[in-house]
Structure 1
Amino acid sequence: MIRHATLQDLDAIAALHQEARATYYRGHLPDADFEGPAELARSRQGWAAAVDRGNAVLCAEADGELVGVAAFRPVDGTMSLTQLHVAPAHWRRGTGTRLHAACVAAWRAAGVTTARLEVFEHNERAHAFYTRHGWLPDPVAPRSGNHLVLRLALTAP
């Protein structure tokens, strides 16, 4: 089930976010950049701000457990998928695809025609996922630091 996040979800969202990030940052960034109590608190604050902004945070549930989360918002006039994480224990079960489809549906309903995201250059799993869902390298600015910039042209359903 995909639903909008609430403030009651923040602890589960922050924990999921930290677990997912560790799978692709470990070995590439210092552990303190993505793990530990301080990073967990910082992450929770960021998610709280996103949830406070309204309906831009979606949660995926399976058997009453939060197993995925996605967030999006306009950045510099372009819709940006700022986060999409699935608990590693739930990879390859369609959770990411359902979250992605819910984001795309919300964007279409809002009249969005193009979306943007940044994916960590070493996160090959995520890069392959986005490629399968139609995201292409941004033709103008394909990189932002150690992230690849991708764009999705939204077509009619």
Structure 2
Amino acid sequence: MIRTAVAEDLDAIAALHREARATYYRDRLPEDAYDGPEELARTRAAWAAAVAEGRVLCAERDGVLAGVASSGERDGVMHLGQLHVDPAQWRRGVGSELHRACVDTWRARGVTAVRLDVYEHNTRAQAFYAAHGWEPDPDVPRSSSHLVLRLTLAPSAE
């Protein structure tokens, strides 16, 4: 089930985010950069703001948070800011279900292009996004240690 996040989800969202990020940053960045107290406080505050603005979708499996996604406009362009799946739920369709819900939301809002940044060493995420139609952004191919991808959406058929 996909639903809009509520404030009561914040602890579960922060825990899922922490675990997912640790899987691709571990052994590549200093632990404080993704799991230190300052970083955890910063990301929790960012999730709290996104939840309060209604920009977060949650995927549940058997009443437990299995995935989370947030998107919003930045510099006049829609961005998929985060899409994380509990590593215990990988390869079970949670990410695809969340992605489909994001695309449906964007189309309903008339969005025709979306960007995202994906960590250059996160090959699992890169393969996921490629399978869902994302391509390297020819205008902005990199942002620091991240690749910039773009998804072009056909207008809604409605």
TM-score w.r.t. the length of structure 1 is 0.96
SS in 2 for 1:92: coil
Q: Which residue of 1 aligns with 2:21?
A: 21
Q: Which residue of 1 aligns with 2:97?
A: 98
The correspondence of residues 87-126 of structure 1 with structure 2, limited to 5 A, is: 87-126=86-125
The residue aligned with 1:154 is 153
Contact 1:16 1:85 in 2 (8 A): yes
| Contact 1:15–1:40 (8 Å) recurs in 2 | no
How far residue 43 of structure 1 moved from its aligned partner, in angstroms, is: 1.8
- Residue identity matched to 1:3: R
Q: 1:41 Cα deviation (Å)? A: 2.5
For the aligned residue pairs, the C-alpha RMSD in angstroms reads: 1.0
Opposite residue 90 of structure 2, the aligned amino acid is W
Cα deviation code 1:43-100 (max 9, x no counterpart): 211100111112x100000000001000000111111000000000000000000000
1:5-154 to structure 2, matched below 5 A, reads 5-54=5-54, 56-154=55-153
Identity of aligned residues (%): 64
Aligned-partner Cα distance in 1 for 2:42–2:17: 11
Shift of 1:156: 4.3
> Counterpart of 1:115 in 2: which secondary structure?
strand
1:145–1:36 distance in 2 versus 1, CA, 3 Å: closer
1:88 & 1:120 partners in 2: Cα distance? Answer: 17
SS at match of 1:60: strand
Could you tell which deviates more after superposition, 126-135 or 39-48?
39-48
Structure 2 alignment gaps of length 5 or more: none
Give 5+ residue unaligned stretches, structure 1: none
Shift of 1:147: 0.2
Distance 1:77 1:36 in 2: 32
- What is the DSSP-based 3-state SS (H/G/I as helix, E as strand, rest coil) of the residue aligned with 1:27? coil
Which amino acid in 1 is paired with 2:107? Answer: R
Count the aligned residue pairs: 156
TM-score by length of 2: 0.95
